Amino acid sequence: MNLAFDHLAVGARSLDEGADWVRARLGVDLEPGGRHPGRGTHNMLLSLGPHEYLELIAPDPLSDAPPQWFGLAGFDGPPRLAGWVARATPLAAPPGTRVIEAARGDLRWRITLPDAGQMAGGGAQPMLIDWGTGPYPAERLPDRGIRLSRLALPLDALDIGDSRVVLRASRMTATLSVGKQEVTL
């Protein structure tokens, strides 16, 4: 299976709280995303370059469904890096996950949903996604010049072939280049 970095997920109790947290760290506003029907979440987005983005995700107060991913069921505390997603070709469900189909507007994707609601290592193990041949969210986002420069993961092995992904870290962090400074989430 070939893996490529797709996006970071920042979890929050609410989109407003999370948007304020991201703005305080990165100095930019996020773009509207949308609701995840039947999944109990909604999001906002920020471009990290041509095929990458940051997703702020929170429980959707208008949904009857409980939040089903990134450990958002029972999420408490301040906003924080909750996980990440890798594009996978071909997409197959690792142990402890299942592949689901999801859609919002004209976006369609297949993604691995962890049975436990959070991937291993507190989200350090990536969820896997396949966008198929349709539109991709990052293509629609304004480029604010923010880039992922490092994703540090407390994992022993992961075959992603991306020099920005560093293994055997003490905890999961993402470092973003924002102009001439670096910000670690």
Residue 1 has pLDDT above 80, yes or no: no
Question: Is residue 68 domain-resident?
Answer: yes
- CA–CA gap between residue 43 and residue 139 (Å, rounded): 16
Question: Is residue 153 domain-resident?
Answer: no
Residue 106 sits in which domain range?
A: 2-143
The pair phi, psi for residue 120, each rounded to 5°, is: -55, 155
Question: Is residue 112 domain-resident?
Answer: yes
Q: Is 23 helix (H, G, I), strand (E, B) or coil?
A: helix
pTM: 0.95
- CA–CA gap between residue 153 and residue 119 (Å, rounded): 13
Sheet of 147-153, strand order: 165-167, 147-153, 173-178, 181-184
Mean pLDDT, rounded, of the chain: 93
Question: Is residue 156 domain-resident?
Answer: no
User: At 10, is the pLDDT very low, low, confident or very high (cuts 50, 70, 90)?
Assistant: very high
Express each pLDDT in 43-94 by its tens digit: 999 999 989 999 999 999 999 999 988 999 989 999 999 999 999 989 999 9
Question: Is residue 149 domain-resident?
Answer: no
Residue 148 has pLDDT above 90, yes or no: yes
User: Hunting for tokens 């930019």 — which residue is that?
Assistant: 28
Per residue, the 3-state secondary structure of 110-134, as one string, reads EEEEECCCCCCHHHCCCEEEECCCC
pLDDT for res 178: 96
pLDDT for res 39: 87
Q: What is the CATH number of the domain that holds 90?
A: 3.10.180.10
Question: Is residue 43 domain-resident?
Answer: yes
Residue 32 has pLDDT above 90, yes or no: yes
What is the total count of domains within the chain? 1
pLDDT for res 13: 97
Question: Is residue 115 domain-resident?
Answer: yes
Express each pLDDT in 100-124 by its tens digit: 998 888 899 999 998 888 888 889 9
pLDDT for res 70: 92
Question: Is residue 176 domain-resident?
Answer: no
Contacts of residue 181, defined as CB under 8 A and 6 or more positions apart, other chains included, come to: none
**Beta-carbon neighbour count of residue 67 at 10 Å?**
22
Nearest to 109 by CA among 85, 84, 125, 126: 85
- CA–CA gap between residue 64 and residue 27 (Å, rounded): 33
- CA–CA gap between residue 14 and residue 28 (Å, rounded): 18
pLDDT for res 119: 87
Residue 37 has pLDDT above 90, yes or no: no
